[in-house]
Structure 1
Amino acid sequence: MYSINQSTDPREAAAIEAKRNREKERQNRFFNVRNRVIGVDVQALNNQVAERKRREAAEKSREAAYGTSQVQYDVVVQMLEKEEDFREQKQQLKNGREFSLWDPDQVWKGLQYFSGENLDRATHLRVQQRQFRYDLERRQQEQQQAKVDENCAGSCTVWASAL
Structure 2
Amino acid sequence: MFTVGLPPDPKEVAAIEARRNREKERQNRFFNVRTRVMGVDVEALNNQVEERKLQEATERSKEAAHGTNQVQYDLVVQMLEKEQAERTRRLAKKLQNFREQRQQLRNRSEFDFWDSDQLWREFPAYPGDRAPYYGPASLQYFSGEDLQRAACLRMQQEQFQYSLERQLQEQQQARVDENCAGKQGPPGVT
Shared fold (TM-score, shorter chain, > 0.5): no
Higher helix share: 1
Q: TM-score range by the shorter chain?
A: 0.3 to 0.5
**Normalization by structure 2: what TM-score?**
0.31
